[in-house]
């Protein structure tokens, strides 16, 4: 008689009969378990099983780890001892509601239609929401889920019968929600009842003011948060977060919604407690007001990484922000600033923030990008900056490139101050070469990635520039190879390749003699 084996995977149940597969809903009494008396007794120890299944779950595979999931599904149907730990791994990470809805008898054939592409939720159009009896089927594996990614607004409509105060995901550690509707169903019960387990939560959606207000009231109940990505929340919620000892990474993603509230300034809440263990802080906002107020009234004694992506900022706002940030000068190691529009006192749109950054002596990574303006950076300031950042290994300064910047003389004088620099992107004057190409070079042997933006969009003497780079920067093989403006440097790279080939021939000939 042919053997029968039933496996379950994310609500997708497969019966294999002699190599033939067909869709079926899993029924526990259909399991064909093996006799546990025939197994080694070590396999009956739950700790050992978990360790084994953990390695199975990490089997490398193409796509969503299909090999590992099929292996775990087979293990879950092998014997009763294997079932629970294998199912815990199978359901630990769930993308969207479709796998859970696939456990509902009525919806299973709609979701797993053979012609339907994975992730296609068009089947839910016009479908009645779950009944009270079907809710149990939907929640059958909800207590196993540790990481949940919710993206479909259409699917959320189907489960609106579940009361918002219900605790339906009691072991949830990670929540990524990118839909505004019914987010309270996943937030409220989880964050109240399971806050001791919750570690990561991310929101990325366009929301109304009411939703943001609800979000603010819920997020403060997560007393074990490690990372948080959310829209701007109100000051009371920030005060609660500032007292949270577990929080290490905080990202603010502004919601572009006309209905979103402009938070009132509440003086009794503005002096937050220090974010004692926060090491990474990021803002992606349209204007600087919210960010500036938060920075003005907060302390970040452990901050190592700070990133801002801002649509508009004025000169006074920039000075105020970086003056406040300078309090973190002994801890900050990574800084990224992207300015889309900068209102400068200078009619030419000069951004003068570099002098405010000289106090960050522990910087290892600095990236500044000015979309519609340009940085003030001459030879003297560049030398000061590189002298102030002796540990830096990645430095990228990009702007609109409308004016002469540092020269080759200024470049190599500054490079002597930062021996660990590996990646550099700056604007340089390639027309007026102010060093002697035949002079004895002071080589910088750590720099490997070099992006030089040419002021006038061209390199006047490609052969001379190639010789300078070859002799002064021996570890740089090519210039601008991974950026859009590589074409002006193509002749330079051709000469560089020739110089390196000639050097290799000389080295090879010397080794043969």
Is there a contact between 152 and 118 (Cβ–Cβ < 8 Å)? no
Q: Decide if 88 contacts 56 (C-beta within 8 A).
A: no
Choice between 455 and 90, residue whose per-residue pLDDT is larger: 90
How far apart CA 282 and CA 335 sit, in angstroms, is 10
Alpha helices for 350-391 (secondary structure H) = 379-388
Measured at the CA of 360, the angle between CA 358 and CA 361, to 5 degrees, comes to 95
Is pLDDT above 80 for 44?
A: no
Helix/strand/coil for 50: helix
> Residue 187: what pLDDT?
59
Strand partners, 8: 13
In angstroms and rounded to an integer, the radius of gyration of the C-alpha atoms of the chain is: 30
In terms of DSSP H, where are the helices of 194-261?
A: 209-219, 235-242
Chain centroid, CA 51 distance in Å: 29
Computed over every residue of the chain, the mean pLDDT equals: 78
| Contact indicator for 373, 339 with CB cutoff of 8 Å | yes
Round to the nearest angstrom and report the end-to-end CA distance of the chain.
77
pLDDT digits (tens, 9 = 90+) for 353-378: 888 899 999 999 999 988 877 788 88
**pLDDT tens, residue by residue, 442-496:** 899 999 999 988 766 677 788 999 999 999 999 999 998 777 667 778 889 899 9
> What tens digit of pLDDT does each residue of 216-275 get?
777 766 777 888 888 788 888 888 889 888 889 998 887 655 445 556 666 666 778 899
Q: 284 pLDDT exceeds 50?
A: yes
**DSSP state string for 89-145:** HHTSEEESSHHHHTTSTTTHHHHT-TTSPTT--GGGTTPPPPPHHHHHHHTTTGGG-
What are the pLDDT digits (tens) for 18-34? 232 333 223 333 444 55
Domain ranges of the chain: 1-90, 281-301+311-376, 399-513
State if pTM tops 0.95.
Answer: no
pLDDT in tens, 243-252: 888 889 998 8
Please give the pLDDT value at position 10: 42
């Amino acid at each position: 008689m042919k053997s029968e084996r039933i496996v379950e995977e994310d609500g997708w149940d497969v019966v294999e009969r002699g190599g033939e597969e067909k869709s079926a809903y899993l029924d526990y009494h259909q399991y064909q378990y093996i006799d546990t008396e025939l197994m080694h007794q070590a396999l009956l120890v739950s700790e050992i099983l978990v360790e084994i299944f953990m390695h199975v779950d990490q089997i490398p595979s193409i796509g969503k780890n299909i090999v590992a999931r099929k292996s775990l599904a087979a293990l879950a149907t092998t014997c009763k001892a294997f079932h629970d730990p294998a199912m815990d791994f199978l359901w630990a990470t769930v993308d969207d509601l479709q796998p859970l809805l696939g456990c509902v008898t009525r919806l299973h054939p709609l979701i797993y239609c053979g012609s339907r592409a994975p992730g296609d939720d068009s089947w839910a159009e016009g479908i009645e929401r779950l009944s009270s009896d079907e809710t149990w089927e939907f929640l059958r594996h909800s207590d196993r889920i540790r990481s949940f990614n919710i993206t479909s607004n259409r699917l959320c409509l189907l489960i609106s019968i579940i009361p918002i105060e219900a605790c339906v995901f009691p072991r949830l550690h990670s929540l990524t929600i990118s839909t505004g509707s019914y987010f309270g169903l996943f937030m409220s019960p989880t964050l109240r009842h399971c806050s001791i387990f919750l570690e990561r939560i991310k929101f990325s959606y366009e929301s109304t003011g009411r939703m943001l207000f609800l979000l603010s009231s819920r997020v403060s109940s997560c007393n074990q948060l490690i990372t948080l990505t959310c829209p701007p929340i109100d000051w009371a919620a920030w005060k609660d977060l500032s007292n949270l000892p577990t929080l290490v990474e905080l990202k603010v993603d502004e919601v572009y919604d006309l209905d979103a509230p402009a938070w009132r300034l509440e003086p009794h809440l503005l002096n937050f407690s220090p974010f004692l263990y926060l090491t990474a802080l990021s803002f992606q906002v349209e204007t600087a007001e919210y960010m500036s107020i938060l920075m003005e009234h907060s302390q970040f004694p452990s901050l190592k990484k700070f990133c801002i992506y801002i649509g508009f900022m004025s000169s006074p706002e920039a000075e105020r922000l970086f003056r406040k940030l300078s309090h973190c000068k002994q801890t900050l190691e990574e800084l990224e600033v992207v300015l889309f529009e900068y209102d400068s006192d200078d009619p030419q749109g000069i951004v003068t923030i570099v002098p405010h950054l000289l106090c960050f002596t522990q910087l290892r990574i600095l990236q500044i990008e000015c979309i519609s303006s340009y940085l003030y950076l001459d030879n003297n300031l560049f030398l000061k900056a590189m002298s102030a950042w002796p540990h830096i290994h990645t430095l990228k300064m990009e702007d609109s490139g409308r004016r002469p910047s540092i020269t080759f003389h200024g470049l190599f004088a500054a490079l002597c101050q930062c021996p660990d620099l590996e990646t550099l992107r700056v604007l340089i004057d390639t027309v007026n070469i102010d060093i002697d190409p035949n002079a004895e070079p002071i080589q910088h042997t750590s720099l490997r990635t070099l992006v030089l933006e040419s002021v006038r969009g061209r390199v006047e003497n490609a052969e001379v520039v190639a010789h300078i780079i070859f002799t002064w920067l021996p570890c740089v093989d090519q210039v601008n190879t991974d950026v859009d403006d590589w074409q002006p440097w193509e002749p330079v790279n051709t000469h560089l390749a020739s110089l390196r080939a000639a050097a290799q021939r000389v080295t090879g000939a010397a080794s043969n003699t």
